[in-house]
Amino acid sequence: MFPNKKVQKLVGSKVQVEMKGNQHILEGTLESADDYLNLHLVDTVEIADGQRLRSLGSVVLRGNNIILIVPVEN
Amino acid sequence: MFPNKKVQKLVGSKVQVEMKGNQHILEGTLESADDYLNLHLVDTVEIADGQRLRSLGSVVLRGNNIILIVPVEN
Amino acid sequence: MFPNKKVQKLVGSKVQVEMKGNQHILEGTLESADDYLNLHLVDTVEIADGQRLRSLGSVVLRGNNIILIVPVEN
Amino acid sequence: MFPNKKVQKLVGSKVQVEMKGNQHILEGTLESADDYLNLHLVDTVEIADGQRLRSLGSVVLRGNNIILIVPVEN
Amino acid sequence: MFPNKKVQKLVGSKVQVEMKGNQHILEGTLESADDYLNLHLVDTVEIADGQRLRSLGSVVLRGNNIILIVPVEN
Amino acid sequence: MFPNKKVQKLVGSKVQVEMKGNQHILEGTLESADDYLNLHLVDTVEIADGQRLRSLGSVVLRGNNIILIVPVEN
């Protein structure tokens, strides 16, 4: 499955996203993703060392600053 | 809602923006946004640790250096 | 006003520009700007902590490395 | 062989990928790659100093944040 | 003059270039520049604190990693 | 000679490449380069302070993370 398709398949489920300028991991439900991998997450929390750090709610992430996207296993 | 649509819907309301090369968060009223997520904010302030740091007024932000955009709840 | 239009309107006036790989702020008169927000500044000075650091004269800035552009109030 | 072709030829085999904002190396089986070098890896592990650090499973990597891709010799 | 035009006008003369991942300044004669501001410099030297550090000769610089380009006054 | 042409002319010869997220220099034989300056190097070694650090063999480098490319004189 192509990278973009893989991301589209994750819409509706929980993902963790590592961003370039951000030391922490963002975890939220993937609401939508476009071709540039810009992401819209809802119920987003910032996580550091396995701890919830901050609740961010609805967040838009700029695709080119995404390092990696990992699905969260249930 | 797609990431870009989500951002367009925020025009006219307060947002916080985390930038790549900038340690602080920018908070302002979103005046406009284009397809690259270049943003024009007005009444912008720089925030660090919940404190107003500097008042910047009208600011143009380069989209590719945006990490994330969060709506500010009223 | 769209971000690019806002920048075009600043041509001829003083702006401060924060760059990604550069700790200091650049201040100069905006001579021109293109669609990528590449900027041509003249009479440019590098500023750190409110102090003039270095005079650079005519400078071309690569748009994708711009964090933010702020008009300088007179 | 062109860089993109070289990467396509690695589909199905193990690769190590060095990312920009990530101190560690990612090693996994290359499931797919697109023209921007966005990668989909499976059975991915994070490696630091030759040690397995974390198992990430299925991961999507944003192409523009890839520094380099090296095939893992068997 | 537009930023790209300004750079084209500098072909044949000495420029200093500040790069993103490079602590030092590169100084050389601008041999050519394309629309992405990729630059080909010849007789290039790396400079730190006003001192010649290393002679690099013919160098190709990737445009998107350029912070700024300054003409060197004679 | 335009920057891209200059790089094409280096195909088959040894080059040193400085990458953005990588403290070391990569030296290898340039197998191919595309328009984005994505590079395919073979017989690649990582160099730090003039010392061979690690042998990487065949490597694909993402163009947008290249700082500079220098031909290695024989």
β-pairing, F51-61 vs F66-71, is unpaired
Asked whether at least 3 C-beta pairs link D and A within 8 Å, the reply is: yes
Neighbouring chains of B at 3+ CB pairs within 8 Å?
A, C
Asked whether at least 3 C-beta pairs link D and C within 8 Å, the reply is: no
| Structure token pair of residue C55 | 């005079």
Choose, out of F4, F60, F64, F69, the residue to mutate when testing the contact with D (most D CBs < 10 Å). F60
- Which has the closest alpha carbon to C73: C15, C17, C8, C24? C15
Q: How far apart are CA D4 and CA D38, in angstroms?
A: 11
pLDDT at residue number A22? 66
3-state secondary structure of F9: helix
Q: Considering only the beta carbons, identify the residue of C20, C32, C56 that sits closest to E70.
A: C56
pLDDT in tens, chain D (74 residues): 899 999 999 999 999 999 997 678 999 999 999 999 999 999 999 998 788 889 999 999 999 999 999 999 86
Q: Considering only the beta carbons, identify the residue of C3, C65, C70 that sits closest to B38.
A: C3
Beta-bridge mates of residue F61: D68, F39
Which stretches of chain A score pLDDT less than 50?
Answer: none
Q: Check if B58 contacts C (Cβ < 8 Å).
A: yes
Type of residue found at E25? I
- CB burial of F2-36 (b: ≥16 within 10 Å; e: otherwise) equals ebbebbeebeeebbbbbbbbbeebbbbbbbbbbeb
Q: How far apart are CA A7 and CA B67, in angstroms?
A: 19
Q: How many CB atoms neighbour CB A52 within 10 A?
A: 10
Q: Reply yes or no on whether the pLDDT at E41 is more than 70.
A: yes
* Cα R_g (chain A), whole angstroms: 11
Which stretches of chain F score pLDDT less than 70?
Answer: 22, 74
Can you list the domains of chain F with their CATH numbers? 3-71 (2.30.30.100)
List, as own/partner pairs, every contact residues A53-56 make where C-beta atoms lie below 8 angstroms and the sequence separation is at least 24, other chains included: A53/A24, A56/A26, A56/A28, A56/B68, A56/B70
Q: How many CB atoms neighbour CB E15 within 10 A?
A: 21
Contact between residue D54 and residue D45 where contact means Cβ atoms under 8 Å apart:
yes
Q: How far apart are CA F8 and CA F5, in angstroms?
A: 5
β-pairing, A51-61 vs A39-48, is antiparallel
Q: Reply yes or no on whether the pLDDT at B74 is more than 80.
A: no
In whole angstroms, how far apart are CA A42 and each of A1, A12, A32, B26, C13?
25, 10, 10, 21, 41
| Percent share of chain A, pLDDT over 70 | 97
Q: Check if D13 contacts F (Cβ < 8 Å).
A: no
Task: Give pLDDT tens digits for B40-50.
Answer: 999 999 998 78
Q: How far apart are CA A14 and CA A36, in angstroms?
A: 19
Q: Tell me what ipTM this predicted complex has.
A: 0.94
Residue, of B55 and A49, whose pLDDT is higher: B55
Average pLDDT taken over every residue of chain D:
94
Dihedral, E70, F1, F6, F8 alpha carbons, nearest 10: 140
Residues 6+ apart with CB under 8 A from E17: E25, E26, E27, E28, E39, E41, E61, E66, E68, E69, E70
- Which has the closest alpha carbon to B19: A62, C35, E65, E23? A62
Q: Check if B19 contacts A (Cβ < 8 Å).
A: yes
Type of residue found at B39? L
Give strand ranges (E) for chain C: 14-19, 25-33, 39-48, 51-61, 66-71
Cα E70 to its chain centre, rounded Å, is 8
Asked whether at least 3 C-beta pairs link E and F within 8 Å, the reply is: yes
Tell me the nearest-neighbour CA distance from E19 into chain F, angstroms.
Answer: 7
pLDDT at residue number E35? 95
Which stretches of chain C score pLDDT less than 50?
Answer: none
Torsion C62-C66-C71-C72 (CA) sign: negative
β-pairing, B25-33 vs D14-19, is unpaired
Q: For C72, which DSSP code?
A: P
pLDDT at residue number F48? 84
Average pLDDT taken over every residue of chain E:
94
Beta-bridge mates of residue D51: D48
Task: Give pLDDT tens digits for B27-41.
Answer: 999 999 999 999 999
Type of residue found at E27? E
Q: Check if F6 contacts E (Cβ < 8 Å).
A: yes
Q: Check if C31 contacts B (Cβ < 8 Å).
A: no
- Which has the closest alpha carbon to A47: A18, A70, A67, A27? A27
**Number of residues in chain E:** 74
